[in-house]
A and B are shown apart, each in its own frame.
Chain A
Amino acid sequence: MLQVEELSKVYVSGKIKVQALKGVSFAVTKGEFVAIMGPSGSGKSTLLHLLGCFDHPTSGRYKLNGINVAGLNDDQLAEIRNKYIGFVFQQFNLLSRATILQNVEIPLIYAGINKKRRLEIAREMLEKVGLEHRLDHLPTEISGGQRQRVAIARALAINPSLILADEPTGNLDSQTSAEIMDLFHELNNQGQTIILVTHEEDIARHAKRRIYLVDGEIRYDEVTPS
């Protein structure tokens, strides 16, 4: 489902070149739950941006659902994100002035789905994460854990091939973190492919496979020891 070959990224700022990724190769098949780990500066954010189709690699190939993403322009990348990737961020990234229901609707608006169907899907997704009673609340009126559930509902709305989660529990207490991770587990059990970026060992343990990055290279890629 997802193939990465010799992916590299060089950032140029002024005269200084920083090679954030040095030829990374791996593949993820449907239904996998992968954690990308590494200390800060290891290139995991860069890899996340490339996998999330936010950025163009300097060299290498990235295929998502058979599409060679590396050659696409910004608007085409936006379409790929809209169709195939559901994002869950550390900062939740909900629109603070829109209700929870409206937040979940957003990716569906850009997918060109009509209002009636959008509301159906958004309600269904919020029910799935257990927030069906908070539809008209603003993000500021609910707890952090609930906000992350909204973000997950929003990610699921477009029925993504891949969920990309960037430190999804970074702003949550351990109790809530565990609940969110349970939710990810459940989704994965239903066949959802998930890639999780984290530096926390406790969180990474929930994934079935771990890719460990150091200095822009894969140090190890292994099945999580149980």
Chain B
Amino acid sequence: MIWETIKMAVHSLKSNKLRTLLSMLGIIIGVGAVIAVISIGAGSQQEVTSSIAEMGSNLINIRPGTSRGRFGRFSKAAQNVFTMELAEAIVDYCPSVIRIAPRNETSGHFVFAGNNYLATLTGTTTDFLVINKYRPEHGKFFNNYDLTHANNVIVLGSDLAKELFAGLDPVGRKITFLYNQHSLVFNIIGVMEEKERGISGDLNGSAYIPITTYLQVISNSRYINSFLAQAASSEVAGAAVEEIKYLLTKYVKDGEEFNLFSQDQLLQTITEISGTMTLMLSGIAAISLLVGGIGIMNIMLVSVTERTREVGIRKALGAKKKHILTQFLIEALTMSCTGGILGIIFGEICAYVTALLGNWPFVISPLSILLAFSFSLTVGVFFGIYPAVKAAKLDPVIALSYE
């Protein structure tokens, strides 16, 4: 019986193609918009996420806390424990952390052949390269031998090499660093590649020396300003943060005196923001689904009036209320579901084209397809039920004499 009714509905819709198409248009556009927004949202989010992951979604910045606000001095208690021994302890006792690099920085003037350039001098270890996926473009980076011997070697960031050595090959030359009225000379052994900004900030405007050299000749102390730790994977980044926090409380005794900031947190924030945006846009798009539903109801009401006589004939021949009700309801459902399917196809095509233009991955979300389809089904039932009830209630005598 249901199958017969569906065939009747399709037959009736087919015999009025233009009208059927026009009344489905609202649903097509509504579903299409929702699908496109969700798919585009998911695709662009994946793009942002993967570019952050490329920077290293498993990176964690560890610094001593500051007293008296953001620009206050580093907390003394924390600073005392921020040494290379702490770095070793973190790698030893935090199973989720695979490597850690110290990072001490100071700014000063680099001088070569009478030109000077204000930039940052960074003291670190070889792990800094691995963690930042950072490579020398020319020459080489310092090695463990340089680290243990606190050698006077320096590797230039790409900006520095460009500004001071325009055209010349810096490798093998000497550079002078002016700092606090001290003057230090380093042997240039390499030039780094150009690198986009990441969690470690701008790497191009810096020059790199072994941390041991830094502690000896620049700070003349054992203290490290900050560490950059790498978790085994982005999945365990959260666990790594917790492990480091736990370890640090053992040393510092006061959780407030250090700061941990992970790329993972940034990722979460971005995911939340883009999720909210997608939800909001889908909400707006869903309104057009509602409008589409009203369009279907309108057409169904017209159709019931037009086919009053048909209802009369069917009733005279033995159709019960439920037969007429299902017939009209299924017509509305056929329209809304066909509209839904066309809308899904239309929406995915839009998302595909946008993904091509925006150069991000094209993502089909099965959940959103399911959601959009069930929504159009609901719209069909909700807006189809009233006209169908109206048709089912028609008095056969009156319906048969309707002109």
Give chain A's interface residues, CB within 8 Å of chain B.
49, 52, 54-55, 74-75, 78-79, 81-83, 87, 89, 91, 93-95, 97-98, 106-107, 109-112, 115, 154, 158
Contacts and interface: CB of A to CB of B under 8 A. Distances in A.
A93 B316 contact: yes
Contacts of B1: 109, 112
A54 B400 CA distance: 11
B80 to A, nearest CB: 89
B309 to A, nearest CB: 7
A110 B316 contact: no
Given A54-B396, A55-B397, A93-B309, A111 B318 contact: yes
B397 A78 contact: no
Contact of B11 (A74, A97, A109): A97
Contact of B317 (A49, A55, A75, A154): A154
A110 B318 contact: yes
B319 A78 contact: yes
Given A95-B310, A110-B323, A112-B1, A54 B318 contact: no
Nearest to A80: B318
B321 A49 contact: no
Given A81-B318, A97-B15, 9 more contacts: A75-B322, A79-B320, A91-B400, A93-B316, A95-B313, A97-B11, A106-B313, A110-B317, A111-B318
Contacts of A83: 318
A106 B4 CA distance: 10
Leading 7 A-B pairs by shortest Cβ distance: A82-B318, A110-B318, A107-B317, A75-B320, A78-B320, A93-B313, A54-B397
A52 B313 CA distance: 13
A82 B317 contact: yes
Contact of A109 (B4, B309, B310, B397): B4
Contacts of A109: 1, 4
Contacts of A54: 316, 396-397
Contacts of B322: 75
B319 A110 contact: yes
Nearest to A92: B313
Nearest to A111: B318
A112 B323 CA distance: 11
Given A55-B397, A110-B323, A97 B12 contact: yes
B11 A78 contact: no
21 contacts: A49-B397, A54-B396, A54-B397, A75-B321, A78-B320, A79-B318, A79-B320, A81-B316, A81-B317, A91-B400, A97-B11, A97-B15, A98-B11, A106-B313, A107-B317, A109-B1, A110-B314, A110-B320, A111-B318, A154-B317, A158-B318
A97 B4 CA distance: 16
Contacts of A158: 318
Interface string B383-403: 000000000000011001000
Contacts of B315: 78
B380 to A, nearest CB: 22
A83 B318 CA distance: 8
B15 A87 contact: no
Contacts of A154: 317
A78 B310 contact: no
B220 to A, nearest CB: 97
A87 B316 contact: yes
Interface string B296-321: 00000000000001101111111111
Contacts of A95: 310, 313
B191 to A, nearest CB: 81
B321 A74 contact: yes
Nearest to B16: A97
Contact of A87 (B309, B317, B319): B317
Nearest to A109: B4
B10 to A, nearest CB: 12
A4 B222 CA distance: 116
Contacts of B15: 97
A144 B313 CA distance: 18
Contacts of B397: 49, 54-55
A93 B316 CA distance: 10
B94 to A, nearest CB: 73
A61 to B, nearest CB: 21
A66 to B, nearest CB: 19
Contacts of B316: 52, 54, 81, 87, 93
B360 to A, nearest CB: 49
Contacts of B12: 97
Contacts of B317: 81-82, 87, 106-107, 110, 154
Nearest to B393: A74
Contacts of B313: 93-95, 106
A75 B317 CA distance: 12
